[in-house]
Amino acid sequence: MPQVVLVNPQIPPNTGNIARTCAATGTELHLVGPLGFEISDRYLKRAGLDYWPYVKLHYHKTWEAFKNIHQERGGKLLGFSVRGSSNYIQFQFQPDDWLLFGSETTGLPDNVLSACNATLHIPMAEAGVRSLNLSVSVAISLFEARRQLGYLL
């Protein structure tokens, strides 16, 4: 099953909402530091409600620490960015994919984007809108991957 990776997330409620989505879908959630909050942050806990026991949460202090785990497990790194070269709907997801999302303010760093096997974007009709909320982007992408792979049946 695809996994969600948040690289340097900054806003606790977004991460809490993403954790809730991951709990509901049985999806592993990887947080890559540095984080813009403490894991014990009350806003993070509140956004995740009482679902934290159901979250398969992994914390990696650095990008290098995460890369070691990725190398052990394998699979493609898929970076989501407003500058992504492929429309996420037209991409063929695989069960061992890692869906990577950057911080709310800066997106994925260049070194992370360059490590990705593919970069994807979510098209938006209004050119004046820079991006979607991080938790919305994760949900859209994760559910499309799950739909393609037959996990919604």
Q: Grade residue 98 by pLDDT with cuts at 50, 70 and 90.
A: very high
102 is in an annotated binding site: yes
Q: Is 18 annotated as a binding residue?
A: no
56-60 and 28-32: which strand pairing?
parallel
What CATH code is assigned to 3-148? 3.40.1280.10
Is 131 annotated among the ligand-binding residues? yes
pTM, two decimal places: 0.93
**How far is the C-alpha of 107 from the C-alpha of 100, rounded, in Å?**
10
- The model's confidence at residue 75, banded by pLDDT at 50, 70 and 90, is very high
Number of CB atoms found within 10 A of residue 44's CB: 22
- The tokens for 38 are 């403490």
**pLDDT for 20 beyond 80:** yes
pLDDT of residue 52: 78
| Helical pair 134-148 and 12-25, crossing angle rounded to 10 deg | 20
pLDDT above 70 for 46: no
Q: Return all residues near 22 (Cβ < 8 A) that are at least 6 apart.
A: 4, 28, 29, 55, 56, 142
Does the pLDDT at position 47 exceed 80?
Answer: no
Residue 119 has pLDDT above 70, yes or no: yes
